[in-house]
Amino acid sequence: MNAAPQSALIELQGISKVYGAGAALVRALDRVDLSIDAGEFIAIMGPSGSGKSTAMNIIGCLDVPSSGHYLFKGVDVGALTQNQRALLRRHFLGFVFQGFNLLARTSAIENVELPLIYRGMKLKQRRSLAMRALEQVGLAARAGHSPAELSGGQQQRVAIARAIVTHPYVLLADEPTGNVDTATSIEIMELLTHLNRDQGITVIMVTHEPDMAQYAGRLIHFLDGHIGPAAHGEETV
């Protein structure tokens, strides 16, 4: 007997997002269809206002579509309650932002522990998991340092450790190299590639940098609320 085909990890079906009304109406997304399989590394590109950040927010359960269906592991996210969507975020998704978003007065390891505190995990267990995550990003020796004592690249590594400490299915990275220099950008991208290839984490990254997009296995290009062909120089290998 043949096995049933596996559905995509993430499916956007006819997703639209509209802000405002009348003359002030803005259609950020217009009937977007997108399928992402588990284990992919996706780069999302497009000019400002193209809809890429709106799509990212919907995938990350930080926003809801005006119409259409978002399926995660076959579950219609639109049918979930607000609390259920929060649980989906907490248990299946990890987030990395351009601005790092670290707490300034706490150590690296305490920053990494935050998602585990929200889960109600006891100190000994969360400290062990946080240290393991810091080891994965090469910062175990800096666990006791505050963000002010770390370089920009090290701060982003702490942010990545915080994102992966819960063992998420999906890592959503919004301009992860936007605040670091070129050499550090390469280090960050190599780390994301390692997490994707060696740990099987699905990576979805928004970037304005074609060189960084080259690390991804597939490029999604947004323009005027639609997914379209990649602009010249933005194809992935």
Question: pLDDT tens digit string along 109-164?
Answer: 999 999 999 888 999 999 999 999 999 999 999 999 999 999 999 999 999 999 99
CB neighbour list of residue 156: distance below 8 Å, 6 or more residues apart: 96, 100, 176, 177, 179, 180, 184, 188
Question: pLDDT tens digit string along 67-110?
Answer: 999 999 999 999 999 999 999 998 999 999 888 889 999 999 99
Show the beta-strand stretches assigned E in the chain.
Answer: 10-19, 26-36, 41-45, 67-72, 75-76, 93-97, 170-174, 202-206, 218-223, 226-228
CATH architecture label of 39-62+89-228: 3-Layer(aba) Sandwich (3.40)
Residue among 151, 173, 145, 169 nearest 160 (CA): 173
Model's pTM, two decimal places?
0.89
Residue among 128, 137, 52, 124 nearest 94 (CA): 137
